[in-house]
Structure 1
Amino acid sequence: MDFLTYTDTLQIKTQDQKRYIFDPIRKKWMVLQPEEFVRQLIVQYLLQNKGYNRNRIAIERGIKVNGLAKRCDILVYDLDMQPFLLIECKAPEIPLDANVFHQMAVYNMQLRVPHLMMSNGGASYICKIDVENQEYTLLQDLP
């Protein structure tokens, strides 16, 4: 998955010497940070390539993890409005390592989502989680 092919679909503007990117899910302009750029590329992929309904996508949804308030980058819901895909976005220079996977796994202890993805725009890993057996299987593409 080359998310950079969706760069042309992003709305970016400069205002007061700051760059902003439009988030079609939250319907507002966000400061253009590297992680936000990756997040918006993935949103475009979800909408255009996978055909996910924008009403079933949550951005930076708050969750409680061990009593602490956390935010997951992208959470996609199935037709029954149950979370089925958790996506952790990182800036392009952040390596996708065990620490990132651990962060997703900790979030998923609360959510119990069957599919996880982590991406820094250039590299992405997707897995299907078997919560009961505490196992995962790597996938080539999103379900």
Structure 2
Amino acid sequence: MDSKMEQIQLPHLNLPHFEPQLLEKEGKFWIFDALRKKQLVLTPEEWVRQHWINFLVTRLKYSKGLLAMEKGLMYNKLLKRTDLVVWNKSGNPYLLIECKAPKVKLTQKTIEQACMYHKELKTPFLIISNGLQHICLSYDVPTEKFTQENNFPLPPV
């Protein structure tokens, strides 16, 4: 690794460690996204998202083919992009993960933002994470209420 790459300060997250492919070009740092098979600009939010992808696939054994990044959805006539959506084998949204930069505190406002995205997808599970803190919620359709969960959801069947 060259000296500039060694200087980049990447926070240790509260997710399993992994060694992503990093590179520097055009004065920016890039991280290889295993889902889209291309280099993405390494932002703090992308650092968190790539850790989640690795965790879901390698530790929780989610199928890579069921994960989608930055799916567009309409909310209040605005095109919004979700960070990470997991689909079940029937093609229905199963888990929505909203990633924030590690320095962003998970507040009621961040939870409400993620819930707005959830309103369109209505996934059974919603995770809000800054890589250090994670809030996992399950959603009950009949009551339209969220319940905080102590464990992450298992892969969809």
Relative to structure 2, which stretch is displaced further, 56-65 or 9-18?
9-18
Instruction: Give the distance between the partners of 2:20 and 2:128, measured in 1 at CA.
Output: 20
Q: What RMSD, in angstroms, separates the aligned Cα atoms of the two structures? A: 1.3
Contact 1:9–1:44 at 8 Å: present in 2 too?
no
**Counterpart amino acid of residue 56 in structure 1:** L
Query: Which residues of structure 2 form unaligned runs of 5+?
Result: 1-12
Correspondent of 2:52 among 22, 26, 42: 42
Instruction: Return the offset for 1:75.
Output: 0.2
Instruction: Give the distance between the partners of 1:106 and 1:60, measured in 2 at CA.
Output: 15
Matching of residues 5-24 of structure 1 within 5 Å? 5-6=16-17, 8-24=18-34
Which residue number corresponds to residue 132 of structure 2? 122
Correspondent of 2:89 among 63, 67, 79: 79
Contact 1:127–1:136 at 8 Å: present in 2 too?
yes
Greater strand proportion: 1
Residue 14 of structure 2 corresponds to residue 2 of structure 1: yes
Relative to structure 2, which stretch is displaced further, 86-95 or 15-24?
15-24
Instruction: Give the distance between the partners of 2:107 and 2:117, measured in 1 at CA.
Output: 16
Instruction: Give the distance between the partners of 1:91 and 1:11, measured in 2 at CA.
Output: 19
Structure 1 runs of 4+ aligned residues shifted over 6 Å read none
Choose 1 or 2 for highest CA Rg. 2
Matching of residues 82-101 of structure 1 within 5 Å? 82-101=92-111
Which residue number corresponds to residue 8 of structure 2? none
Identical positions, percent? 35
Instruction: Give the distance between the partners of 2:97 and 2:63, measured in 1 at CA.
Output: 16
Residue 58 of structure 2 corresponds to residue 32 of structure 1: no
Q: Give the TM-score of the pair, scaled to structure 2.
A: 0.85
**Counterpart amino acid of residue 112 in structure 1:** K
**Counterpart amino acid of residue 53 in structure 2:** V
**Counterpart amino acid of residue 122 in structure 2:** R
- Match of 2:110, SS state, is helix
